[in-house]
Structure 1
Amino acid sequence: MLARSAWREALLAMVATVVASWPVQLLLDGSGWVWQMLPGLVAVAVTGSLARGLRLPQLVVLVVPMLAGWTALAWVFVPQTLVLGLPWQASLAAAGDLVLAGAETIRTETVPAPERPGLAFIVAASMVGVGWAVDALAVTLRSPALAGMPLVLALVFGASGTGEPLHPLYFLGAAGAWLLLMARQSLLAARAWATRRRAAPAPLPGDEAASPSGGHRRWATSLGAGSVVLAVVLAGLVPHLAPRAVLQGLGSASSGSSLVQFTESFDLAADLRDRSQRPVLRYRAEDEVTPLRVVASHRYAGGQWWPTGQQDEPHEGPDSLVERDDVERGAHAITVLANGLGAPQVAVPYPLVEADFGDIEWEEDERTGAVRVARRPGSYEATFAEVEGHLPDDVGVGPAAGTVEPDLLRVDPTSRDVVLDELGEVLEDAEPEIAANELMVAREIQSHLRGPDFRYSLTLAAPAPIAPASPDSAAPEDMTDPEYDPITHFLTTKVGYCTHYATAMVMMARAAGIPARLALGFLPGAEQDDGSYVVVAADAHAWPELYISGLGWTRFEPTPAVRTGTAPLYLTDADIAAPLPAPETTPGPTAEAPAEIPTQEQTDVAAPVPSWTERAGRIAGPAVIAMAAITAVLLVVPTAGRLRRTARRRSARDAAGRTEGEWRFLVDSLDDLGVPMPGGATPRRAGAHYARRAGLAGDEKSALERVVARVERARYAPVTDAGETADGAMARDVRTVLHAARTQLARRERIAVALWPRSGREALKAIGDRLGLLVRAADRTTRLRRG
């Protein structure tokens, strides 16, 4: 019974699954899921072994481990739902709730995601499913080669979520575990063969050709060598998804769905460039229109904005809206008639005074001011506050009202020096009273970024050379292809789009001591003939919010008017007495203008449309990488075959050697084409055989006869053939013969020979044999030393 249970193979299958799950740990911020996964894998291995040992029907052997794995997961994740230690209907319902919670974590969090119960359950259950598939294929069905498929799925899951090429060790570890399964099955097959052939004479020591186990080892080693090569190649070439849980920037919420959603994290160098004209919102406004806010973030690191998250305890921080009797605010309302933004997100103006979502529960995050709804409202109403008139002169003077979180004042350390230099340029000629006022500083930064030195474009400029920080500092070694972080790149090239402008203003404000954060949402959209406004996906926008003493969190707009229209001015009493700044105008197209600048037929807030070259470039990049990876894989066997066929030609040192090299190239190439040379045949007999089998006649047959004659002369009178070999006549005749032989094959057969030549397979097999000999020699040496 113990032998029938195949417990060793089951243990190997479990180990292979654990090794394949190694890259998954890159996706979660914690390792508790590993210990939650192990009971399920153990249950699969143990129950599968018992079922096989009892010789139960194969269907039962497949089903029992699956149920055992589910039971073990229920013990770990939903023990309160068990009845007599077994999961029931309540367990399925609780597991469904965990899946929904895990899906929400995947949607809202970024890699590495927090290890919440729902996400841990999804990951552990997925890996237990992989373990069951490996056990079923490799052990129960005795097809260890097919067991590589679920193992590869586990690797792909880890690779696609990190956004970076996985280290080759991850692939090598999984390949090694899979090869152990293959080797174990080969060993069992060899032992069974030996049992049936006990009466046959034993093979001589070292005679691998006569030993079935040696044949299995050679094939396993060859397969292992190929796996190692592919693992190293694919680890660097296969394109990977960006490190987003579900969506990047703004996109479809689900396949086939018209809903859209923001992720609460995005790459500053890549996101919010969606030019889709897909409608997202349609609304009416009583009077004022303003950007519609969806999410906000405090945290910036590594060129990316990250979700701020929610606190369980009541939040104590800067007030979102500071009520002052001398600051005039007006209440304005909008009515959303159609909403295509997926829950829990909802687009509302900021700061929100009140909202009516009908019977749908909603809440406002105290930290970010973002509104979340329990389910998507088809329509709703919202009222927001807007500063009206001019402001008192003391607005912007004094500390923030409340505790300021460190993230709100943290300047990105990578670009700090560039940010400080840019801020110094803005405030260089400012009066002391301006530099001491938060509102005045914010207005100066906004005006600077909207000035003529900066240019709005969806196509980023090439990096400029890095200059030394000071005359005494050393310049970088490579000044021709510098890699800037996104903020430094933007402030250096002064070309970018809304995320660059908004992030730059956030960092400059923080450097000036002003709390700042980034908001994501939509521009007001385009007015329709019926007076309503339509917001499309291309209206996705980012802007900074600064905490101004006396006002609270306040929206600014550093992105140029070509994209956003007029920016908020926030005039004070002193501004009323002084001459007003010249009105901001939208620059018209010039010879230097980017392709994205709208034409006169477009509204002043319409999204720029990328050129066909830019759209083609977005598609071509990933396509070229994928095609390069596929091509590299397809060329492995043909390249190995070509090297094997030309080995004698490359090693030739004289005319006779070159002739023999061409002859071997012809013989091996004809072998690939299905015309092998008879064993022990002389060149003349081989030539007659080739002419008959390949159907050669006329010039092709004459060329083959000349080839045979040169080979005979090279072997018995090599000096007389030197001239013909030197001028390439031998090679031309060989090409003529091979061309004639190939034309006898169907197109499908020619393609098969080109992609899967026998010489290539033999070459890889030889490499595997050599590696196997080295492994056996090392093992023999180790045993001798131990003995």
Structure 2
Amino acid sequence: MSAAATGRASTGSSGVTVARDGPRRWGRGGDPKGSPPSSSTARIHAGPVETTALAVLPIAWLWSTGTVLGDGWLLPALGAVLTMALAAALARTIMPAFVATGVVALLGVGWITATSAPDEALLGVIPTPESAGASMRAIGEGVQAIAWALRTPIEVEGAVLAAVVAGAVVLALGVDLLGHAMRLPAIAVLLAAAPLLLPIAFRADIPWWHALPGAAAAALALAAPAIDERVAIGRGWLAPVALVGVAAALAAAVPLVAPSPRDVALDLPTLEELLRSPTPVLQTDIDLGDELRRPEARQVFTYSTSDGLPTVTRLMTLPEAGEDGFRQVAPTAGDPDLLVEGADLGAPMQLTVRMSPVRAESLPTPERVAGATAPEGAHWDDANDALRIEGSVDTDGLEFTSSGTRSPDLASLVGDSSTGHEELLLLPERAQGIRELGSSLVTEGMGAADRVRAVHAYMTTGVWDYSEQLDLPGFAGASGDGWEALEGFLETRSGYCVHYASATGALLRGAGVPARVVVGFLPGDEIAGGRSVTTNHMHAWAEAWVDGAGWVRVETTPGAGTGQASPEGDEQTQEPTPTPTESAAPTPTPSATQSAAPTTAPTASPTPSSPGVAEPGATAIDWAALRPWLIGAGLVLLLALPWLVRRGQRAVRLRRGAPGGWHELRAALADAGTRLPASATPGEVQAAIGARLADDPQARSAADRVRLAAERAVFDAGPRERGAVDADVRLVARALGRSQPLWRRVLSTALPPSLVRVVPPIDE
């Protein structure tokens, strides 16, 4: 029986091995296997299995964010990704791959518009100039809401949903471009795994079943080309599928054996480092069970006082003890004669504030504000004692003045009763243990001032540590709640200002004194003509009501975050970024140093400790100054790594003589954008090179010499001469590079496609 009849390979007179009557492969254009391929017919498109795997890949990896984002995003994101994949599959049947990707991009823009700005768009999905701006604002707000989130899982609605759907669209578009148009499925898999960074940045544990879909889809996408080819030629596909299952199981087992992200000593990357907000975002909600995610210190405002002394400033009052801790209530607009009760009791002072560009819901005022010249767009919130500001107001350079007084010294506090604020004695049932503890600190005959001092003494006697790293019940949205976390704080005596303020407020209520929590700022750093306050000066403290004295600040945070030992303690409090203590004010205000802020800012990298004094003759290294250069060099090396690996491959192949040189030409052809199946014969490869170099006869002749030398070397058992074909290989490789458009040449140099697909070497 002839070779043509059996469909087996035969060797022609030219020495080129040609396969005859081979079966077509799924998704491959052009003639059957025996026909010489051209540059267009040699391109391999994704088969059914690979197309399906790449389509579900973005959603599969987005599922791993369930600990942070919940599953409210699933249906709209699934609809966006699947319709984009279906549109891509249909488009590629009638148009080139890159054009089809453009169609996918337009469909993705429609989904983003529909979820972010449907009212401004035509038919709710067709973008307009107005909807484009609204979409960008909504996505920006959603990204910041995620990056500055208080607790997990984050409620996915409104701007957050728009941001998540936009992220899913970008992932789907990236996978389509890399996996289908550019045929780089391995890089597409890496891109689609990006959502895995989200729970890591939040230091949240990932259940194994959340990682399993992404791991399985990624393994399937990488094995899919082999599965498609095996099915097309009638070979068994169970082995590759089994390999996919094993790879997915191993990947899913990683969360079971790896340490929890929050237990790792490394400083993990945060969203602040990846998506830096253009302006600080100040939110006044507090989470008692979460770690402090301190932002980078960025200026919020500068101020000056009429008496020249530093002062703490109020941002918002949290009057209600809710199910998870102290919280604000529904705003109530008002214009009372005295903004905060008791503000007229004490030496008056005036505060002049100049804001920096920030996003906030209220403006800073004196801790006991009596009156304020509210700027346009601001009004007084009588329910939460806050100078509210509308979100559309530009704060950059905004100036306003307010008047008020400072809180009196607790040692000189006088008052026997606390009346008129009975609603601020309430605590939820979950805080019953804290109520009983507060009640045990006082006796029935104590006056209000003495009760305040008794609670203050309890919270400042012994060793109390200032720490921003917590593992309390209720952490990161796990089982438990804020009050359980607060009980854990009172047992461990380790936490930051929101814990001290909330515990003090709850104990005061238990002791029979109306109390609430205030979020504001420490006095800040001294500058010419006043003081500067940054995001890291944000602070929380408790206030108690005493008849005849008004609202009195009860500060119990150790050193207000200065790193000093707590009263009568023998251990150092912890603070990652201490700053010099400011001069003391005549009233007991905390030092103008950093304190644990109730802001929702992401965790910033701990500030490196200052290097110690160098020994005589030793050269001190300024690591803080050197770090940016090291990071820059590392990034350059990372970007250059694929090119370096590719150069190393070429050197290794050329040492193997002519067979290695032919192998290098196959890789150079792949880098030039021509994809051939793994089973392509030397004749097919030669034809593909000839098609790419139709206008360069010198390079075609060089390629033919390399092929003939490789075939002779395969059948010659003698030693192989090194360097014999090096010049020809380099000549052809340069010609193949020049045959590409400039953009493609740059891309293939930075990310050589031959690194992410197997080019089998010629038998040696």
Which category of TM-score, normalised to the shorter sequence, fits these structures? 0.5 to 0.7
| Aligned-residue CA RMSD (Å) | 5.3
Q: Specify the alignment match of 1:741 in structure 2.
A: none
TM-score normalised by the chain length of structure 1: 0.55
Distance (Å, rounded) in 2 between the aligned partners of 1:18 and 1:560: 46
Distance (Å, rounded) in 2 between the aligned partners of 1:495 and 1:158: 25
Match of residue 348, structure 1, among 365, 371, 378:
365
Structure 2, unaligned runs of 5 or more: 1-24, 28-45, 472-482, 585-589, 596-605, 612-654, 657-764
2:474 is aligned with 1:458: no
2:126 is aligned with 1:89: no
Look up the SS of the partner of 1:146 in the other structure. helix
Contact 1:250 1:261 in 2 (8 A): no
Distance (Å, rounded) in 2 between the aligned partners of 1:554 and 1:536: 25
Match of residue 378, structure 1, among 393, 397, 412:
397
Q: Specify the alignment match of 1:333 in structure 2.
A: 350
Per-residue CA distance 1:601-655 (angstroms, 9 max, x = gap): 9644546899xxx977999xxxxxxxxxxxxxxxxxxxxxxxxxxxxxxxxxxxx
Question: By how many angstroms is 1:57 displaced?
Answer: 1.4
Question: By how many angstroms is 1:249 displaced?
Answer: 13
Distance (Å, rounded) in 2 between the aligned partners of 1:496 and 1:305: 15
Question: By how many angstroms is 1:544 displaced?
Answer: 0.8
Question: By how many angstroms is 1:315 displaced?
Answer: 10
Distance (Å, rounded) in 2 between the aligned partners of 1:64 and 1:37: 18
Match of residue 426, structure 1, among 441, 444, 455:
441
Contact 1:515 1:546 in 2 (8 A): yes
Question: By how many angstroms is 1:445 displaced?
Answer: 1.4
Q: Specify the alignment match of 1:228 in structure 2.
A: 249
Per-residue CA distance 1:358-417 (angstroms, 9 max, x = gap): 55x3344444334454232435333233379999967513553xxx489x623754xx53
2:164 is aligned with 1:123: yes
2:128 is aligned with 1:67: no
Per-residue CA distance 1:513-533 (angstroms, 9 max, x = gap): 5554322332224666x6734
Distance (Å, rounded) in 2 between the aligned partners of 1:364 and 1:250: 34
Q: Structure 1 379/410 Cα, relative in aligned 2: closer, same or farther at 3 Å? A: same
2:57 is aligned with 1:37: no
Distance (Å, rounded) in 1 between the aligned partners of 2:333 and 2:350: 29
Contact 1:399 1:549 in 2 (8 A): no
Question: By how many angstroms is 1:135 displaced?
Answer: 3.9
2:296 is aligned with 1:285: no
Q: Specify the alignment match of 2:192 in structure 1.
A: 151
Q: Specify the alignment match of 2:201 in structure 1.
A: 160
Match of residue 362, structure 1, among 378, 387, 412:
378
Match of residue 90, structure 2, among 39, 43, 50:
50
Q: Identical aligned pairs, as a percentage?
A: 21
Question: By how many angstroms is 1:235 displaced?
Answer: 6.1
Distance (Å, rounded) in 1 between the aligned partners of 2:312 and 2:87: 59
* Counterpart amino acid of residue 384 in structure 2: T
Q: Specify the alignment match of 1:441 in structure 2.
A: 451
Q: Structure 1 300/153 Cα, relative in aligned 2: closer, same or farther at 3 Å? A: farther
2:305 is aligned with 1:294: no
Distance (Å, rounded) in 2 between the aligned partners of 1:179 and 1:253: 27
Q: Structure 1 329/173 Cα, relative in aligned 2: closer, same or farther at 3 Å? A: same
Per-residue CA distance 1:331-351 (angstroms, 9 max, x = gap): 421123574765456432234
Q: Specify the alignment match of 2:419 in structure 1.
A: 397
Distance (Å, rounded) in 2 between the aligned partners of 1:43 and 1:494: 54
Distance (Å, rounded) in 2 between the aligned partners of 1:527 and 1:485: 39
Look up the SS of the partner of 1:119 in the other structure. helix
Q: Specify the alignment match of 1:501 in structure 2.
A: 500
Distance (Å, rounded) in 2 between the aligned partners of 1:26 and 1:6: 34
Per-residue CA distance 1:566-608 (angstroms, 9 max, x = gap): xxxxxxxxxxxxxxxxxxxx99999946377999996445468
Pairing of 1:628-667 with structure 2 (within 5 A): none
Question: By how many angstroms is 1:505 displaced?
Answer: 0.7
Contact 1:545 1:555 in 2 (8 A): yes
Distance (Å, rounded) in 1 between the aligned partners of 2:379 and 2:195: 38
Question: By how many angstroms is 1:539 displaced?
Answer: 4.4
Contact 1:520 1:542 in 2 (8 A): yes
Q: Structure 1 299/140 Cα, relative in aligned 2: closer, same or farther at 3 Å? A: farther
Contact 1:527 1:533 in 2 (8 A): yes
Q: Structure 1 310/41 Cα, relative in aligned 2: closer, same or farther at 3 Å? A: farther
Contact 1:27 1:158 in 2 (8 A): yes
Q: Specify the alignment match of 1:678 in structure 2.
A: none
Q: Specify the alignment match of 1:175 in structure 2.
A: 215
Look up the SS of the partner of 2:92 in the other structure. helix
Distance (Å, rounded) in 1 between the aligned partners of 2:51 and 2:271: 45
Look up the SS of the partner of 1:336 in the other structure. strand
Contact 1:40 1:70 in 2 (8 A): no
Q: Specify the alignment match of 2:752 in structure 1.
A: none
TM-score normalised by the chain length of structure 2: 0.56
Look up the SS of the partner of 2:130 in the other structure. helix
Q: Structure 1 28/254 Cα, relative in aligned 2: closer, same or farther at 3 Å? A: closer
Contact 1:300 1:412 in 2 (8 A): no
Per-residue CA distance 1:457-501 (angstroms, 9 max, x = gap): 4369999xxxxxxxxxxxxxxxxxxxx965445544656654443
Question: By how many angstroms is 1:543 displaced?
Answer: 0.7
Look up the SS of the partner of 1:409 in the other structure. coil
* Counterpart amino acid of residue 196 in structure 2: L
Contact 1:249 1:266 in 2 (8 A): no
Distance (Å, rounded) in 1 between the aligned partners of 2:113 and 2:374: 38
Pairing of 1:322-721 with structure 2 (within 5 A): 322=341, 328=345, 331-336=348-353, 339=356, 343-344=360-361, 346-356=363-373, 361-373=377-389, 374-378=393-397, 380-386=399-405, 395-400=417-422, 404=423, 409-410=427-428, 413=431, 416-417=432-433, 419-420=434-435, 422-427=437-442, 430-432=443-445, 434=447, 437=448, 440-450=450-460, 453-455=461-463, 457-458=465-466, 487-488=486-487, 490-492=489-491, 498-512=497-511, 514-525=513-524, 532-535=530-533, 539-546=537-544, 554-559=552-557, 592=570, 594=572, 603-604=583-584, 605-606=590-591
Distance (Å, rounded) in 2 between the aligned partners of 1:7 and 1:461: 49
Distance (Å, rounded) in 2 between the aligned partners of 1:157 and 1:272: 14
Q: Structure 1 280/235 Cα, relative in aligned 2: closer, same or farther at 3 Å? A: farther
> Relative contact order (C-alpha < 8 Å, sep 6+): which is higher?
2
Question: By how many angstroms is 1:423 displaced?
Answer: 2.2
Distance (Å, rounded) in 1 between the aligned partners of 2:306 and 2:269: 34
Question: By how many angstroms is 1:187 displaced?
Answer: 2.4
* Counterpart amino acid of residue 466 in structure 2: L
Q: Structure 1 29/170 Cα, relative in aligned 2: closer, same or farther at 3 Å? A: closer
Q: Structure 1 118/44 Cα, relative in aligned 2: closer, same or farther at 3 Å? A: same
Q: Specify the alignment match of 1:21 in structure 2.
A: 62
Q: Structure 1 489/79 Cα, relative in aligned 2: closer, same or farther at 3 Å? A: closer
Match of residue 139, structure 2, among 80, 94, 99:
99
Q: Which has the higher helix share?
A: 1
Q: Structure 1 158/422 Cα, relative in aligned 2: closer, same or farther at 3 Å? A: closer
Distance (Å, rounded) in 2 between the aligned partners of 1:71 and 1:600: 53
Q: Structure 1 322/344 Cα, relative in aligned 2: closer, same or farther at 3 Å? A: closer
